[in-house]
Amino acid sequence: MENVNIKINGMPYSVPNGITILEACQMNGIRVPTLCYLKEINEIGACRMCVVEVKGARSLAAACVYPVNDGMEVTTNSPALQKSRKATLELLLSNHNRSCLSCVRSGDCELQRLCHEYGVDNEERYTGEKTPSEIDDSAPHMYRDNSKCILCRRCVAACDKLQSVGVIGANQRGFKTHIGCAFDQDLADVACVSCGQCIVACPTGALSEKDDTDKVWAALNDPTKHVVVNTAPSIRVTLGEAFGMPIGTNVTGKMVAALRRLGFAKVFDTDVGADLTIVEEANEFVERVQNGGKLPMITSCSPGWVKFCEHNFPDFIDNLSSCKSPQQMFGAVVKTWYAEKNGLDPKDIVVVSIMPCTAKKFEVGRDDEDAAGVPDVDIALTTRELARMINRAGIEFAALPDEEFDVPLGIASGAGHIFGATGGVMEAALRTAVETLTGDKLEKLDFTDVRGTKGIKEASYHVAGIDVKVAVVSGLANARALLEKVQKGEAEYHFIEVMACPGGCVNGGGQPTQPASVRNFTDLAGIRAKALYDADAGLELRQSHKSPVMKVLYDEYFGKPGSHKAHEVLHTTYVARSRF
């Protein structure tokens, strides 16, 4: 692409022809404020915060949609622009619930930050009717408070374009415009998959996960309960962001130390559940290949994807692996093997999971997730909720020493670590399945073809006389496109990994929020995923089936992968759901 010469604030720059003024400013270290803009999915120029002056233009231009051209002269910070942006913010606040002190996004709100920058005080410049404070908390994972909504439509774009779920949109017109489901149905009554991508897209506190931290505090303070916690693979490389650390910082040791200081009886690693998932899933895949089972086999680790499949592709339900997710497998092991080994009644054990995913809040309540006659997992918290607990407890996170997980359910392989990145489940499964199929030691453990944040990845591996064709997909819009190709016979695979969130769990709906200024121009998923792959590369134990914990579990309890006992405890079932 050829470059053009422009001036921004009187300074000359050479930039690619055809990019927007916003992109040209960003690549040259000039921040133009935005509220509605999300790169590639919500480029609508609606909020008017990004307006700039273009020499010769009759009116202010929205930088997010205005392309550069040769000789253009742009001003981004004139007194007139500052006045315009301040007026826009004051108009937004005229219809905004200002309960900032108690808002979950206080201090982390893009609207609040801009109001500080532009000197908007607490006095209402414009007064009149306001949107009623109507809250939809019908879904198990989140709530929507439209009195805090600024109608940026970022949530709508995430739901529709990233995820192809499309269960929310703008209802009515004019002043009565509000975001909701069709015919103002409750979120619980539509085909929402609980992925939470709308939450991390929202710039204010209009959307948030349901906070279950009070349930955890109550359990921790109940002397009759044995409360254990387990942390998903990706949490270790995202939690630090909630405490001001650089994106991708691995805080495993400090995370364990913080959880121990919160009062949990045991601090375990969900990666053990990931290893167990791989052992069972690889066995299931090999059985399907060798015995003519239903192919392609599709992973079942992502509850948002599973629910999406149940709503939109019921014909593929038999293709789903019957393995529970790592979260649910871990809980099932705690309330069966661990309970028996420690003389505990499963009813007295509280399993708390720290997850990157709001869909995990839905998953804990699914049918057939109760191996011991009680729910496998009692409470699922997001990364954000854990950060709030740590802050409330007065724990200085950055000052904590590094500590180790408790044994034995804290000893996991590198294959378990990489579950948090798109392609990680596939690579972990291949590390075990290839050795199972060939009977030979796998010399090269890195399957780099399935790595990276590209939405759809394909690879083929010649294993034991078979060309095993695999696909890795993240983001439900990509999943829909891939499965439609499979339905039409345009693509054929043996094994498909699907993660609901673009980039995988590292970019989950329960992860620390980042402003659009970061989300638009930083590869969040790539940086976070690299930290997981780096952790895997530094370990000696990198294959799930070689974990000493797996040997103990199978020798003492399950017998062998795919056994009757394993199916009773570690596998589950699915149901077809309405698409509407």
pLDDT over 80 (residue 123): no
**The predicted structure's pLDDT at residue 131:** 80
Q: Is residue 580 part of a domain?
A: no
H/E element, 169: strand 169-171
Q: Is residue 82 part of a domain?
A: no
**What is d(CA 470, CA 459) in angstroms, rounded to the nearest whole number?**
5
pLDDT over 90 (residue 132): no
**The predicted structure's pLDDT at residue 50:** 98
Using alpha carbons only, what angle is made at residue 293 by residues 290 and 299, rounded to the nearest 5 degrees?
A: 105
Same-domain pairing of 278 and 383: yes
Same-domain pairing of 226 and 114: no
- Residue that terminates a domain, selected from 162, 191, 209: 209
**What is d(CA 199, CA 486) in angstroms, rounded to the nearest whole number?**
31
H/E element, 425: helix 424-438
> If you average pLDDT over residues 218-234, what whole number do you get?
98
Mean pLDDT of the chain: 96
Same-domain pairing of 205 and 219: no
With b meaning 16 or more CB within 10 Å and e meaning fewer, what string describes 133-167? eeebebbbbbbbbbbbbbbbbbbbbbbbebbbbeb
The answer to whether the CB of 141 falls within 8 A of the CB of 194 is: yes
H/E element, 483: helix 476-487
**Which CATH number goes with the domain that contains 181?**
3.30.70.20
Same-domain pairing of 99 and 67: no
The domain of 65 spans 3-77
Where residue 188 falls among pLDDT bands split at 50, 70, 90?
very high
Same-domain pairing of 258 and 187: no
> If you average pLDDT over residues 433-462, what whole number do you get?
93
Q: Percentage of the chain surpassing pLDDT 90?
A: 93
- Residue that terminates a domain, selected from 209, 235, 268: 209
> If you average pLDDT over residues 519-532, what whole number do you get?
97
**Tokens of residue 515, six digits:** 């402003």
Q: Is residue 436 part of a domain?
A: yes
> If you average pLDDT over residues 563-576, what whole number do you get?
98
Q: Percentage of the chain surpassing pLDDT 70?
A: 100
Q: Which of 188-192, 361-365, 463-467 has the lowest mean pLDDT?
A: 463-467
The answer to whether the CB of 64 falls within 8 A of the CB of 37 is: yes
pLDDT over 90 (residue 437): no
Task: Give per-residue pLDDT as tens, 56-100.
Answer: 999 999 999 999 999 999 999 999 999 999 999 999 999 999 999
**What is d(CA 260, CA 251) in angstroms, rounded to the nearest whole number?**
14
Task: Give per-residue pLDDT as tens, 294-340.
Answer: 999 999 999 999 999 999 999 999 999 999 999 999 999 999 999 99
**The predicted structure's pLDDT at residue 366:** 97
**The predicted structure's pLDDT at residue 127:** 85
Where residue 130 falls among pLDDT bands split at 50, 70, 90?
confident
DSSP for 15-57?
Answer: EETT-BHHHHHHHTT-----SS-BTTTB----S-TTEEEETT-
pLDDT over 80 (residue 580): no
Where residue 451 falls among pLDDT bands split at 50, 70, 90?
very high
**What is d(CA 217, CA 328) in angstroms, rounded to the nearest whole number?**
22
> If you average pLDDT over residues 252-278, what whole number do you get?
98
pLDDT over 80 (residue 122): no
Amino acid in position 94:
S
Predicted TM-score of the model (pTM): 0.96
Q: How many domains does the chain have?
A: 3
**What is d(CA 251, CA 241) in angstroms, rounded to the nearest whole number?**
10
The answer to whether the CB of 30 falls within 8 A of the CB of 21 is: no
pLDDT over 80 (residue 291): yes
**Which CATH number goes with the domain that contains 35?**
3.10.20.740
pLDDT over 90 (residue 133): no
Query: What separation, in Å, do the N-terminal and C-terminal C-alpha atoms of the chain show?
Result: 44
> If you average pLDDT over residues 419-448, what whole number do you get?
93
**The predicted structure's pLDDT at residue 519:** 95
